Structure 1
Amino acid sequence: MRARGAYRPAAGAITRRHTLAIGAAALLPLSARGARADSGAIRAGGNPAWFPYSWEEGERLRGLGMDRAEAALGHLGLTVLPMTFGRWPRALAALAHGQVDLLVSALWNAERTAQMLYTAPYATDDVCAFVRRQDLERYHAVADLFGRVGLAPLGSAYGADMDALEARGLNLERSGTITGMLQRVRHARADYCVLVRQNGLHLLASLDLADDLAPLPFPLAPVQVRMLITRDGPLAGRLEALNGLITGV
């Protein structure tokens, strides 16, 4: 475990501010290039690796968010054209540039609201810190993480509560892949990483890391899972109806 103290991101590390400033032109979709929606078809993408809300299997997009979107849009007389992007920043860039109409899984981020509209939440979860199992007893409150070396996925933004924790001293470096991030914690090259709980537990099981890493028993922040659409897209005028259908209200 590294000692407490001032933390500076490693050379080449990408902070949240730098992540949000990445040029969208470099993040255009991969398999979705050239795709166009037919009349009545809604182009839908999502986070490619965020169980259980959305994940990609080849050219297929699966998960709770996709299931809710297909059911809701079908009720509105619309069909869904699934699109895959390989990386979450690519999916966001595609929505910003009108190359996709809907992202089925997203967390609230105020900086996106100038261009995009969020639906009502259709699921709730928690952001948690994942640490080495042998270190679980070292942490009793969120403040015990302050000043230590933390990691978060590239492109992640977990909302106002997490922003406030970062301002108070929660140091999060955003760099590398999620698998690499977990391995850095496993091999004590970082103290913890943050993930949404259900996805984190799924990753530990699928990567055979459940014996090495575990979430702390207290959450860092609650999160609400929503869908994301463009302000001038085909669903903007149907947001109220879409909200009622995806939430069952």
Structure 2
Amino acid sequence: MDKLFLLILIIIVALPSFADEQCRSITISAHPNYPPFHWREGDSLAGASIDISKGIFRRLGLNVYVKYVGNWQEVLNSAKRNDIDFIPALKNNSERQQYLHFTQESFAANPVAFYVRAAELLDVDQMDDLAGKLGSINAGDSHTEAIDAFLLSQPQVQAIEGLAKNFRMLLERETDYFVTGYLVGNEYIEASSIEHEIRPAIVIQGPEVHNAFTHEYAKTCPNVVTEFEQRLASEKQLGMIASAIKYYGLQWTQLASH
């Protein structure tokens, strides 16, 4: 009952007034191939992070525009150019902090997995066990600083665009391992019915994804940033984000299996 009361308060609380015209709307984009957090649907995007973020902004009284702008690197470039205002559910690192203002409150936990062929590399327990092997990452992805440093130290790691191509290369023995988010990887594996062919050799718990505004938008609309963060924390505490991740994971799996 207490949770329901809090939820009602979140929804019916008086909408704040944002005087600056720029602060009455916001443009969102995200990784086009990162379920259950977000994925491309035509010229727009869908997923847990899109649903949660869009809902919060609308309850703040903003006009929300969700745009597909291209691959992940182009999303980041669009943020650098201020062509978009907000990216949900991405890893926080020092390079991205140069042009993005990350929320203090994380969006969700997002463990990282090193995937291998099921019958191989059975003795892999830590990253160093993969040294010298052929690896790949989804182009533009960043994980923890320790994981990124390891991958950068490996000359035989390729940046390949798209989950499908990375997993195909692994299945076809063009690579020995593929590094991506554990939730993302598992959703793809289940949807593709390759559970018996691919397994996570290493799962690193702890990494989280955060939401981020461009520096320009955060500077111009600090009240939006503050209100968003407060409501994000409330919805996270109520379990709404966890529920959205579960719901959209099932939805994407069903879509991908058809």
TM-score (norm 1): 0.77
Matched, 1:102 2:97: no
Helix, strand or coil at the partner of 1:232: helix
Q: Report how far residue 38 of structure 1 moved.
A: 7.9
Helix, strand or coil at the partner of 2:57: helix
- In structure 2, the CA distance between the partners of 1:58 and 1:151, relative to structure 1 (3 Å rule), is same
Gaps of 5+ in 1: 1-36
CA deviations on 1:102-153 (whole Å, 9 max, x unpaired) are 1122111211212210112110011110100101523133321122111101
Alignment of 1:141-220 (within 5 A): 141-166=126-151, 172-216=157-201, 218-220=202-204
For 2:224, which of 238, 241, 246 is the aligned residue?
238
Matched, 1:125 2:110: yes
Report the count of equivalent residues: 212
- 2:99 maps to a residue whose letter is Q
CA contact (8 A) 1:230 1:236 kept: no
Gaps of 5+ in 2: 1-20, 238-258
Tell me how far apart the structure 2 counterparts of residues 202 and 49 of structure 1 sit (CA, whole Å).
11
CA deviations on 1:22-77 (whole Å, 9 max, x unpaired) are xxxxxxxxxxxxxxx98722111111111111111112311111122122212322
CA contact (8 A) 1:139 1:145 kept: yes
Tell me how far apart the structure 2 counterparts of residues 235 and 171 of structure 1 sit (CA, whole Å).
43
Helix, strand or coil at the partner of 1:139: coil
Helix, strand or coil at the partner of 2:116: strand
Tell me how far apart the structure 2 counterparts of residues 235 and 206 of structure 1 sit (CA, whole Å).
40
Aligned to 1:80: 64
Q: Report how far residue 101 of structure 1 moved.
A: 0.9
Matched, 1:70 2:57: no
CA deviations on 1:155-188 (whole Å, 9 max, x unpaired) are 1111313134336659532134432221121122
Helix, strand or coil at the partner of 1:182: helix
Taking only the aligned residue pairs, the percentage that are identical comes to 19
TM-score (norm 2): 0.74
CA contact (8 A) 1:70 1:79 kept: no
Q: Report how far residue 211 of structure 1 moved.
A: 2.3
Structure 1, 131-140 or 115-124: larger mean CA deviation: 131-140
CA contact (8 A) 2:23 2:224 kept: no
- 1:143 maps to a residue whose letter is D
